[in-house]
Structure 1
Amino acid sequence: MNAAFPATHPATDAKSDRPGLTILIAAPRGFCAGVDRAIEIVERALEKYGKPVYVRHEIVHNRFVVDSLKEKGAIFVEELDEVPDDAPVVFSAHGVPKSVPAEAERRKLMYVDATCPLVSKVHRQAERQLEKDRHIIFIGHEGHPEVIGTMGQVSEGRMTLVETVEDVATLPFTEDDELSFLTQTTLSVDDTHHIIEALEARYPQIVGPKAEDICYATSNRQAAVKELAPGSDLVLVIGAPNSSNSLRLVEVAERCGTTAKLIQRASEIQPEWLEGVGTVGLTAGASAPEMLVREVVDKLAEWRTIDERPILVTEEKMTFKLPRQLAD
């Protein structure tokens, strides 16, 4: 247990036969500025163009958000060939390969790009490194939409993906090669640091971005979990199983020595998880709305007498502008 959080044990509340439960709630948590912007883009597109508005890939990785937008008239597809010629289409917050807007323009589709501006920044960095004739080593998770989108900014063979420190040892480059590195925005801060160290040790000439690519929201949510996990008997992370930043929060908690569970909704919580538990840490990935946090607290309150305590590491005030065609 962290000294900042005295050990707590289930104790019977005087007004109830339910044992007490302390919930340490991470702040910040949940929606980031890029997710807020992406959801608003779909909602404004529906207002401006009417139903239906097509969305290529999940706008953000959260089933609750996707289902709520479906109810408003959004239709989610995986590829542009599923979009009719006369329908508007939105690209997801994760970003898309250059071939996607090129195909949309060839078909004269009306499209709105909801790529998170921090992901777009990485895309621009990739272009600048190519202009300097450097090969790019990209740190990320194979198959993630953001990785597919970023690697799709350059021609084949100009970017190499690494996922682990071990991958660095297998790279075919020499100290004579012009190299640079970039990273996915939703990685583990600690893991990425170790991979970058390995790259710089093997290739002293490698050039990195002026500021780290891991986004502020990812870093802040991981920092909050590092604060609450040592004082918790169990950490609950609200997020989707395909959400990179949510999975990283589970890993951060587990590295603090605390059992962690990834859940999408409160209904997934099993009562036996709380056996012997006096303190629960609670957080939400960047695609999870606050109402799901309150849903979890309410579910826990069905079994225990709740004492909520916020764990604040920083305040987020970041906002991003909407695309021009929807800004009015």
Structure 2
Amino acid sequence: MTDTAAEILLAEPRGFCAGVDRAIDIVEKALAKFGAPIYVRHEIVHNTFVVNDLKSKGAIFIEDLADVPPGATLVFSAHGVSQAVRTEAKARGFSVFDATCPLVTKVHVEVAKLHREGYEFIMIGHKAHPEVEGTMGQLSEGIYLVETAADVAGVPVKNPAKVAVVTQTTLSVDDTREVMAAIQARFPQVRQPKQQDICYATQNRQDAVKVLAPQCDVVIVVGSPTSSNSNRLREVADRLGTPAYMVDSADEVRPEWLEGRQRVGLTAGASAPDVLVQAVIDRLRALGAISVRQLPGVTESIRFPLPKGLGSGPNA
């Protein structure tokens, strides 16, 4: 990457979404209001830099509520939690602030409503992902996980006429389409969400990569390995035939990725802060990039309110 035409193209939108902004804000405001430590169940968002930054400010990340002392302040991560976790947190007497992304909460509300109407559920998602565990955990039975189209054949529903679908919000739109087609083939009366569960930010970032990748010789995605939506961005670029790599930090960018490549595409997952993107730009400049150009894209203006007790309004 030594030619003077070497250029970095920035996807738009990229980086933080409203749900991630809100979740981080909840932890920071809880620290400011109640002082350290603030306990957080699971990583607040799946980004190493963000988690380490909050640790330095006094957040303690735990998986087991038994590790939280009585009377402590506890924050649920953006991915959401099961009903069992909510019940346990209440029984232990914690002061709880819920940082579950409102779009994930929407899925939980839909599951509860349709369950009351007698529906069973097929959930499209990745096994062991905390968002999937949280959504599956809204019910004690009658919700089945599928990861691929092939999984659909083994779903043991009792009444094929009363089946509804929910999805993990951070999946690939294309992956979901394939699985959905298999579900519709087996359950023609399946009930789909009124609005697709895949979140606006995931959709927008994937669409931006579909514009970006064909214009580039290589794509770099800023995101942590645990971040589902970041992994999907890399896969979207890869599927379009552009070599794509994911990095947690600028020092992971390898010079050999850039050899003979004149145009580098750069994007970031919804949990990756802009400071990491800027550090990657600096690294690419050090390796020979001459210019940076942002592609046009969707402007995101959505904002989610903070829970009562942390906001700045009259009920705070």
Do the two structures share a fold, i.e. TM-score over 0.5? yes
Aligned-residue offset at 1:175: 7.1
Aligned-residue offset at 1:303: 1.7
| Superposed CA offset, 1:180-231 (max 9, x none) | 1110100000110121122112211110110000000000000000001011
1:115 aligns with 2:100: yes
Superposed CA RMSD in Å reads: 1.2
| Whole-angstrom distance in 2 between the partners of 1:178 and 1:148 | 22
| Whole-angstrom distance in 2 between the partners of 1:219 and 1:113 | 24
Structure 1 residue runs without a partner (length 5+)? 1-9, 14-19
| Superposed CA offset, 1:57-97 (max 9, x none) | 00000010001111111111111111010321111000000
1:68 corresponds to: 53
| Whole-angstrom distance in 2 between the partners of 1:267 and 1:183 | 34
Q: Quick one: structure 1 residues 86 and 210, their matched pair in 2 at CA, closer, same or farther if it must change by over 3 Å?
A: same
Paired AA for residue 320 in structure 1? F
SS of the residue 1:326 aligns to: coil
Paired residues of 1:223 and 1:313 also in contact (CA < 8 A): no
| Whole-angstrom distance in 1 between the partners of 2:59 and 2:281 | 30
Aligned-residue offset at 1:12: 3.6
Q: Quick one: structure 1 residues 112 and 175, their matched pair in 2 at CA, closer, same or farther if it must change by over 3 Å?
A: closer
Q: Quick one: structure 1 residues 11 and 73, their matched pair in 2 at CA, closer, same or farther if it must change by over 3 Å?
A: closer
1:98 aligns with 2:86: no
Paired residues of 2:3 and 2:262 also in contact (CA < 8 A): no
Aligned-residue offset at 1:174: 7.3
Paired residues of 2:126 and 2:132 also in contact (CA < 8 A): yes
| Whole-angstrom distance in 2 between the partners of 1:96 and 1:221 | 25
1:249 corresponds to: 233
Q: Quick one: structure 1 residues 35 and 293, their matched pair in 2 at CA, closer, same or farther if it must change by over 3 Å?
A: same
When the two structures are superposed, what TM-score results if normalisation uses the length of structure 1?
0.93
Mean alpha-carbon deviation: is it higher for 98-107 or for 313-322? 98-107
| Whole-angstrom distance in 1 between the partners of 2:299 and 2:228 | 22
1:84 aligns with 2:59: no
| Whole-angstrom distance in 1 between the partners of 2:285 and 2:132 | 40
2:26 corresponds to: 41
Structure 2 residue runs without a partner (length 5+)? none
Aligned-residue offset at 1:246: 0.4
| Whole-angstrom distance in 2 between the partners of 1:209 and 1:190 | 17
Aligned-residue offset at 1:142: 0.4
1:5 corresponds to: none
| Whole-angstrom distance in 1 between the partners of 2:61 and 2:222 | 22
When the two structures are superposed, what TM-score results if normalisation uses the length of structure 2?
0.96
1:138 corresponds to: 123
2:41 corresponds to: 56
1:16 corresponds to: none
| Whole-angstrom distance in 1 between the partners of 2:246 and 2:26 | 28
Paired AA for residue 54 in structure 2? L
Paired AA for residue 224 in structure 1? A
Paired residues of 1:236 and 1:283 also in contact (CA < 8 A): yes
Aligned-residue offset at 1:172: 3.5
The size of the alignment, in residue pairs, is: 312
Percent of pairs identical after alignment? 54
